[in-house]
Amino acid sequence: MAPKREERRLAAILAGDMVGYSRLMEADERSTIKRQKAHRQELFDPEIAAHNGRLVKTTGDGLLVEFASVVDATECAVAIQRAMAEREAEVPEEHRIQYRIGINTGDIVVDGDDILGDGVNVAARLEGLAEPGGICIPLKVVHEVRNKLDVGYAFIGEQTVKNIKAPIPAYRVLLEPSAAGQIIGEKRPNRPLLRWCAVAAASLAAAAIAVTAVWWQPWVERVEPASVERMAFPLPDKPSIAVLPFINMSGDADQEYFTDGMTEDIITDLSKVSGLFVIARNSSFSYKGQQVKVRQAAEELGVRYILEGSVRRAGDQVRINAQLIDATTGGHLWAERYDGTMTDVFELQDRVTAQIVASLSVTLNSSERALAEQSETSVPEAYDAFLAGWRHFRLRNVEDYRKALTWLEKAVDLDPDYGRAWALMALLYHEAWERQWTYRLGISTEKIPELLDKALQRPTPLAHRVKAERLMSQGRLDDAEIWLDKASTLDPNDPETFVLRSTLVDIRGDTDTAIALVKTAMRLDPHYPAFYLTRLGALYLRAGDAAKALEFFERARKRNPGDWSDLVYLTVAYAEAGRLEDAERAAKTLVERRRELGFLVTLAGSFDIWWGIGSTFRERIHQALLKAGLSDRPKPEDLNLLPKNRLSGAELSEALKSGYRHKGRVSGGVWMRDMYPDGTGVHYSNGHQTSTTTSKIEGDMEYTERSNGRKTRCTFYRNPEGTKENLNEFISVCAHGIYPYARFPLPETTQ
C-alpha cells in the first residue's frame, strides 16, 4: 500500500507576535491579559473573518493565520495595525501593546489543523524583521498587492534569515495614507562595472570622484551587519536611529558650521517624532571626523538604523546626499540626492526627515504633523546666521559666547519672529549667569524674560526647556513642570529635558524616579557628558547608597578631572562610606584649589551645598564634611573663617541700617553691590548692572533674593590680613561661592 501523499497547497500566511510580551506581563499581568483578550475578540477575530482567513493557532503572545488570497492577508494586517494604533493611543508608551506582523505567500504542508513548510517559516522570519506596529513582506507579495491597497512600501534590503538559504528582498508596509502608492528604495539590479573600453574622460571623472568624495548611490554595496547580541544596549521597542555627522563636501572648511547645522536639524526634526527613538546630537557627533563603520556606531549606540550623508554648498546651491541603513542586516532602505537652493533648504531637510519616517512606518500624531508643517524662519540668511551662532555657543567659552551673540543678534534682526534664535539667546544669557560671565559679556540677566517672551511667540522645545529651567532656579516647581511637559511634548527624545526633570522630582523627594530619568537620558545620549554621572551619583548619595554614589563620582572625576564640584561630592561620599582617609585627601585637594575656584571649601556650617535638599540630608552633608576635617580645624590659610571673626547679627543689622557698598574681585573681574537701608539694592559686575536685590537679616545670616531669581544666604567674616585697598577686608560665604570684599559708605547720590 502506497504511503499517504502529503497534502500541499498554495496559501498566504500571516504571522503575528506581541512586542515585549514578557515585560508587559511582568509590569501589569492583569491589565495586559485583559487588553490582549479585548483586542483579540473585538479586532483580530472580526478582521480575520472579514478577510476570509483561518486562525491556525495562537500562543501566549503570537498567532498564525492562513488566507487563500495574499491581498486579503495584507489588507487584514493593515486594518489590524491601524486600529491597534488608535486603540492603544492613550496608553503610556511603556505599557502599550503592539504587534509585529510578517506576511508571505507560498507552498505549505497541511498537518491536521496545523500548517508547516518554508512558506510558514519565511512569514515568521519576516515578522521578526517588522517594527513594532509594523508589517514586513517579501518582494513577491509587493508585486501582488502594490496597486490594490492604500499603502506604500519601503525596501529594507536583501535579508538573510535563519534556516532560509536564499536572501529575501524585504519591504516594510508604509501605513501612512500620504505614503499610498509609494515604493521607496525599490530593489534594483547592480550596475555593471565600467568597461575597459570606456573613454578616457569618463575614467578620469570616475577617478576624481573616488579621490574627492564619498558620494552614496542607491546601488551601493551592503555594509557589514551589526550584531544585536554585541550591542551596548537592548534595542528599544520602536524604531531606533542615529544620524552620523554629515560630511562637508563644499571644499571650504568655513562651511563646516553649515553642514553640522544641517545634521543637527535633521536630528532635531526626528527627535520630535514620538514614534522614534533618536540618539542625541552629543553622541552622534562623537564620531565626527572619524572613519566609523555603520556596524560599530550601531553596536555602540544600541540602534537599528543609521543615517549618514554629506552636504555640498556652493554659493546659493545646496546638495544633500543621504542614505538610511538597517545596521542589523547591512541593507540600504534608501539612498537619495536632494538638490536645491538656500531658499529651499528647509524643504530639503523636510524631505529627508519625511522619507525616514515613511521608511520606518512611523505614524505621526496630529500635533507632530502640525509641527512638521511649521517653518522656523522663511529667511535663509537668518538661518545661516543662527547656525553660525549655534556653532560658537556649543564651544562654551566667553569669547565664543560673545561671537555667538553677534550672530544671533544678526539672525533676529533679519527675522524678528525667529523663535529658536531668541530661545538660544535666552539660554546663552542664562548659562552666562550660571557661569558668572555676564559682566565679561556686558549683558544683564534682567533681559532674559524679554528674550523668552519673544522666543515663546513661536515656541520651540528649546524655548520651553529654558523657561522651565529659569522657573526652577526661582523655586517655582509647579510652573516649571508645566513648561517641562510642553518641552517633552514637542521633543520626546531630548535627554536634557529628562535630566532637568530629574532635578525637579528629586527636590520633591522622589529620588527613585529622578534616578530613572537620568538613566533614560543616558540611553538617549550614550556618550553623555560627565555631569550626568555626577548627577546620578548625587541622587544615589541622597538615597543613602554612598558606595553606589562613589562609583559614579569616580567615573565622572576620571572623565573630567578639572571639575571642582566632583571633589565636594567625593568628600561627602567617602566620609559616608567610612573611607575617611580618602575623604580627608579629597577635602585637602578641595582646600588647595580654594583660591583658584572660590567655591565651597571651608566651614560646613556656613552654607548649604544644594538647595531644596531638606534638613535631614543637609545635616548628613554637614556631618560628612566634619568627618573629612573641613570644619574642625580651621587654619589661617582657610581665609581666616574663624568663629571669632564672624560678624554677628547685630553688626549685620547695623550695616544694613546705615547703608553700605560691597566691592570685591572674583573670577578676574570686579563685583559690587549697593545695599540701601530699606534692604533693597543693586548688583553690578564690572560696572554693568545685573540685578536688583532684596535682603533681610535672620540671626547672623543675610538672606538675599535677586530679581533674576537667584536666592542666597550668606555669613560674613572679618579678614584680619585684608585691607580696603585690596578689596578683601571682609569675606562673605554664600551657597554659591566665597567672596572677599571691602565695605564702603554708600554714596548719597545712589540712595
Query: What pLDDT, in 10s, does the model give residues 95-107?
Result: 889 999 999 988 8
What pLDDT, on a 0 to 100 scale, did the predictor assign at position 93?
74
pLDDT at 481 over 60: yes
pLDDT band at 453 (very low <50, low <70, confident <90, very high): very high
pLDDT per position as a tens digit, 510-540? 999 999 999 999 999 998 888 899 889 989 9
What pLDDT, on a 0 to 100 scale, did the predictor assign at position 114?
84
Helix (H, G, I), strand (E, B) or coil at 400: helix
What pLDDT, on a 0 to 100 scale, did the predictor assign at position 408?
96
70: cell is 495574499
Q: What is the mean pLDDT of residues 336-357?
A: 80
As a whole number of angstroms, the distance between CA 572 and CA 408 comes to 42
As a whole number of angstroms, the distance between CA 184 and CA 336 comes to 10
pLDDT band at 488 (very low <50, low <70, confident <90, very high): very high
Q: Which of 345-359, 374-388, 396-410, 490-504 has the lowest mean pLDDT?
A: 345-359
Task: Measure Cα distances from 195 to 163, 188, 203, 218, 254 in Å.
Answer: 38, 20, 10, 20, 39
Q: Are 489 and 468 in contact (CB under 8 A)?
A: no
pLDDT at 383 over 80: yes
Which residue is listed with cell 563644499?
Answer: 250
Residue 436 is inside which H or E element, if any? none
- DSSP for 214-226 reads ----TTPPPPPPP
The amino acid present at 738, given as its one-letter code, is I
Which residue is listed with cell 556618550?
Answer: 527
Q: Which of 254-263, 387-396, 438-447, 472-481 has the lowest mean pLDDT?
A: 438-447
| Number of CB atoms found within 10 A of residue 148's CB | 11
CB-based contacts of 285: which residues, under 8 Å, 6+ apart?
Answer: 245, 260, 263
Terminal Cα distance for the chain, rounded: 118
As a whole number of angstroms, the distance between CA 716 and CA 702 comes to 9
pLDDT band at 73 (very low <50, low <70, confident <90, very high): very high
As a whole number of angstroms, the distance between CA 686 and CA 694 comes to 21
Angle between helices 398-414 and 419-434 (to 10 degrees): 160
Q: Are 15 and 123 in contact (CB under 8 A)?
A: yes
334-357 CB burial, b ≥16 within 10 A, e <16: bbbbbebebebbbebbbbbbbbbb
pLDDT per position as a tens digit, 193-233? 222 223 223 333 333 333 333 333 333 445 688 888 889 99
As a whole number of angstroms, the distance between CA 449 and CA 434 comes to 16
What pLDDT, on a 0 to 100 scale, did the predictor assign at position 666?
62
Q: Which of 178-187, 240-249, 294-303 has the lowest mean pLDDT?
A: 178-187
Q: Are 56 and 114 in contact (CB under 8 A)?
A: yes
What pLDDT, on a 0 to 100 scale, did the predictor assign at position 291?
78
What pLDDT, on a 0 to 100 scale, did the predictor assign at position 369?
65
Q: Are 707 and 719 in contact (CB under 8 A)?
A: no
Q: What is the mean pLDDT of residues 73-90?
A: 91
Task: Measure Cα distances from 532 to 302, 434, 556, 711 in Å.
Answer: 19, 17, 8, 25
What pLDDT, on a 0 to 100 scale, did the predictor assign at position 45?
93
Chain CA centroid to CA 467, Å: 17
Q: What is the mean pLDDT of residues 541-552?
A: 92
Pairing type for strands 277-278 and 247-248 reads unpaired
Q: What is the mean pLDDT of the chain?
A: 80
Please report the beta strands in 175-287, taking only residues with DSSP state E, as ranges in sequence order: 183-184, 240-243, 247-248, 277-278
pLDDT per position as a tens digit, 152-164? 888 887 777 676 7
Cα dihedral 346, 352, 358, 360 in deg (nearest 10): -130
Q: Are 226 and 294 in contact (CB under 8 A)?
A: yes
As a whole number of angstroms, the distance between CA 135 and CA 102 comes to 6
Q: What is the mean pLDDT of residues 55-68?
A: 87
As a whole number of angstroms, the distance between CA 531 and CA 553 comes to 9
As a whole number of angstroms, the distance between CA 224 and CA 105 comes to 29
pLDDT per position as a tens digit, 680-700? 888 877 666 778 888 888 888
As a whole number of angstroms, the distance between CA 558 and CA 398 comes to 25
pLDDT at 660 over 60: yes
Q: What is the mean pLDDT of residues 133-147?
A: 89
As a whole number of angstroms, the distance between CA 530 and CA 747 comes to 46
pLDDT at 365 over 80: no
Going along the chain from its start, the domains and CATH numbers come out as 7-184 (3.30.70.1230), 211-365 (3.40.50.10610), 375-476 (1.25.40), 643-750 (2.40.128)
Choose between 163 and 467: higher pLDDT.
467
pLDDT band at 487 (very low <50, low <70, confident <90, very high): very high
Residue 723 is inside which H or E element, if any? none
What pLDDT, on a 0 to 100 scale, did the predictor assign at position 513?
95
659 DSSP assignment: -
**CB hemisphere CA count around 628 (13 angstroms):** 33
H-assigned helices in 40-195: 45-50, 70-87, 118-129, 139-145
Pairing type for strands 7-18 and 99-111 reads antiparallel
Q: What is the mean pLDDT of residues 468-496?
A: 89
Residue 255 is inside which H or E element, if any? none
Q: Are 183 and 360 in contact (CB under 8 A)?
A: no
pLDDT at 278 over 80: yes
Instruction: Give phi and psi for 93, each to the nearest 5.
Output: -55, -40
Q: Are 65 and 55 in contact (CB under 8 A)?
A: yes
Chain CA centroid to CA 466, Å: 15
Q: What is the mean pLDDT of residues 440-453?
A: 86
Query: Taking the alpha carbons of 268, 270, 273, 276 in that order, is the dihedral positive or negative?
Result: negative
What pLDDT, on a 0 to 100 scale, did the predictor assign at position 434?
73
As a whole number of angstroms, the distance between CA 327 and CA 44 comes to 32
pLDDT per position as a tens digit, 704-741? 888 767 777 888 888 877 788 878 888 887 755 667 88
Q: Are 153 and 173 in contact (CB under 8 A)?
A: yes
pLDDT per position as a tens digit, 297-339? 999 999 999 999 888 888 788 888 888 888 988 887 877 888 8
Q: Are 584 and 571 in contact (CB under 8 A)?
A: no
Choose between 6 and 558: higher pLDDT.
558
104: cell is 508571505
As a whole number of angstroms, the distance between CA 578 and CA 469 comes to 36
pLDDT at 548 over 90: yes
- DSSP for 458-509 reads S--HHHHHHHHHHHHHTT-HHHHHHHHHHHHHH-TT-HHHHHHHHHHHHHTT
520: cell is 533614560
457: cell is 511667540
